[in-house]
């Protein structure tokens, strides 16, 4: 447990905090991208008030004082604060030695596993092969007829959502419906590393299992990327364990092209701290070498390769740290998303970066890093916006935007 005589650790940064109402009271649901916490935790009452003061700097006395002021002078005992802190640490919510030890155990156990199991089968989509195939077909049917201008065009790069499949099924359908003329032999998967903190990228040599079968990871390419990236690549692959941004793409790709795909799975961490320092990813030391190897790999593969970026765009509303509800932010959000999409279609990575810098990443575009990397390595291509949509989460009055874009190589 946390030693309350020491400095109080801050709340873990890799947790997802979701404001909600539970049993008629304000609450926060906490989900863990890494899986240290097996089930979501609900915080209410004193615990909910207290987490706002856990910043890694405040002492027990500071927290007491903050709670007293927040409560209009109602006394809060030291024992109450200590009890809540112990309970939070027991649940692996604090960035403490105990949580670090648990994470180390997870890393060691996961490193010995050769196959990455489908973490969302039976939850986000059916766990049986037959039911999953039927489900994917039902989604793809919502795309309707493809535009005449798509006839005969082979897609070399695709931007697809990673939002819940039901919430984004029309956009998924538009994205994967565009691949009817494609027959890739190698898939470069770029995704958002929601739980990635220790590097700009996370790589894995594990093969990926889904209800459709086993997709083979190209270990040789992964090793070249790891060698090129050196310090900017996370030392372990734990971020892949429960990450959905690649898994959701893979079930569509296997359904279309067969189970035994050859893939290169890459999770991208946040570039937010680099936003004001540089004007594109390739200006970050180490990232330039990593992307250089990835670009060379694509050039060597030519028409055999398909790049798929599993990303969402803006995340707005109280759930994502905004004081205003999503409905009041929609106009500015759509304007920002349009600018990012336009930069993608023009393959203009510096314009893409500049737009995010302009708004100081106010709209929480979780796919920012993956998209910026895609623009760095994308060969000359003709891009087209296939779909753009929002998912409105009414309980939290928040929203997420997402899009589908396809790029046909200029031969």
> Would you give the DSSP letter of residue 234?
-
Q: Does 160 share its domain with 301? A: yes
**What local confidence, expressed as pLDDT, does residue 69 receive?**
86
User: Do residues 264 and 147 both lie within one domain?
Assistant: yes
Predicted local confidence at residue 212, as pLDDT: 98
Q: Which of 107, 136, 154 is the last residue of a domain?
A: 107
pTM, full prediction: 0.89
Q: Extract the residue ranges of the chain whose pLDDT is less than 50.
A: 1
Please report whether residue 3 resides in a domain. no
Q: How far apart are CA 82 and CA 4, in angstroms?
A: 7
Same domain, 146 and 185: yes
Q: What is the per-residue pLDDT for 143?
A: 86
Both 176 and 323 in one domain: the answer is yes
> How many structural domains compose the chain?
2
Alpha-carbon distance of 30 to 381, in angstroms, equals: 41
- Three-class HEC string of 120-163: CECCCECCCHHHHHHHHHHHHHHHCCCCHHHCCCCEEEEEECCC
67 and 151 housed in the same domain: no
Helices 330-345 and 368-377 sit at what angle, rounded to 10 degrees? Answer: 20
Burial of 207 (0-12, 13-18, 19+ CB in 10 A): middle
In a shared domain, residues 102 and 163: no
Tell me, what's the pLDDT at 56? 83
At a CB cut-off of 8 Å and minimum separation 6, what does 209 contact?
A: 115, 116, 117, 118, 215
Does residue 363 sit in the same domain as residue 264? yes
Do residues 161 and 34 both lie within one domain?
Answer: no
Backbone phi, psi, residue 65, to 5°: -60, -40
What is the model's pLDDT at position 6? 55
Q: Are the CB atoms for 175 and 386 separated by under 8 Å?
A: yes
Looking at the structure, tell me whether residues 76 and 138 fall in a common domain: no
> Are the C-beta atoms of 200 and 286 separated by less than 8 Å?
yes
Residue 2 resides in a domain: no
71 and 130 in a common domain: no
**Is residue 358 assigned to a domain?**
yes
Domain membership of residue 9 (yes or no) is no
Beta bridge partners of 29: 18, 42
Question: CATH number for the domain including 372?
Answer: 3.40.830.10
Identify the CA nearest to 160 among candidates 390, 367, 410, 369.
367
Give yes or no for a contact between 312 and 161, defined as CB atoms under 8 angstroms apart: yes
Residues 43 and 75 in one domain: yes
**CA 233 – CA 64 distance, rounded (Å):** 40
Both 171 and 299 in one domain: the answer is: yes
For residue 47, give its domain range: 15-107
Question: d(Cα 77, Cα 83) in Å, to the nearest integer?
Answer: 10
Q: Looking at residue 325, what is its pLDDT?
A: 95
Per DSSP, 401 falls in state E
Q: Which of 107, 133, 155 is the endpoint of a domain?
A: 107
Whether 318 is in a domain gets the answer yes
């Amino acid at each position: 447990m946390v030693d309350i005589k020491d400095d109080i650790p801050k709340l873990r940064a890799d947790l997802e905090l979701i404001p909600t109402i539970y049993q008629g009271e304000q609450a926060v649901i906490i989900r863990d991208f890494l899986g240290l916490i097996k089930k979501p935790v609900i915080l209410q009452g004193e615990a909910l008030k207290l987490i706002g003061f856990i910043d890694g700097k405040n002492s027990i006395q500071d927290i007491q004082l903050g709670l007293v002021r927040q409560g209009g002078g109602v006394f809060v005992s030291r024992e109450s604060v200590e009890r809540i802190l112990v309970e939070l640490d027991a649940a692996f919510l604090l960035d403490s030695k105990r949580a670090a030890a648990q994470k180390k155990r997870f890393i060691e156990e996961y490193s010995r596993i050769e196959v990455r199991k489908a973490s969302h089968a039976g939850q986000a989509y059916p766990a049986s092969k037959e039911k999953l195939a039927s489900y994917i077909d039902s989604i793809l049917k919502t795309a309707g007829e493809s535009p005449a201008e798509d006839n005969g065009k082979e897609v070399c790069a695709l931007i697809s959502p990673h939002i819940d499949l039901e919430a984004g099924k029309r956009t998924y359908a538009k994205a994967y419906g565009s691949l009817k003329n494609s027959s890739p032999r190698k898939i470069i998967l770029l995704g958002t590393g929601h739980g990635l903190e220790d590097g700009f990228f996370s790589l894995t040599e594990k093969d990926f299992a889904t209800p459709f079968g086993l997709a083979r990871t190209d270990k040789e390419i992964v090793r070249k990327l790891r060698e090129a990236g050196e310090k900017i690549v996370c030392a372990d692959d734990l971020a892949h364990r429960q990450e959905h941004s690649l898994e959701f793409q893979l079930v569509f790709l296997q359904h279309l092209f067969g189970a035994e795909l050859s893939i290169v799975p890459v999770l991208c961490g946040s570039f937010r701290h680099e936003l004001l320092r540089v004007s594109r990813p390739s200006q970050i030391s180490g990232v330039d070498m990593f992307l250089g190897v990835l670009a060379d790999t694509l050039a060597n593969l030519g028409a055999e390769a398909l790049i798929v970026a599993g990303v969402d765009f803006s995340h707005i509303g109280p759930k994502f740290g905004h004081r205003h509800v999503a409905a009041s932010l929609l106009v500015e959000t759509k304007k920002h998303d349009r600018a990012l999409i336009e930069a993608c279609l023009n393959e203009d990575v510096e314009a893409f970066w500049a737009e995010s810098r302009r708004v100081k990443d106010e709209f929480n575009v979780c796919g920012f890093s993956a998209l910026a990397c895609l623009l760095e390595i994308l060969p000359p291509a003709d891009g087209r916006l296939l779909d753009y949509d929002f998912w409105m989460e009414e309980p939290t009055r928040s929203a997420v935007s997402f899009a589908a874009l396809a790029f046909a190589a200029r031969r």
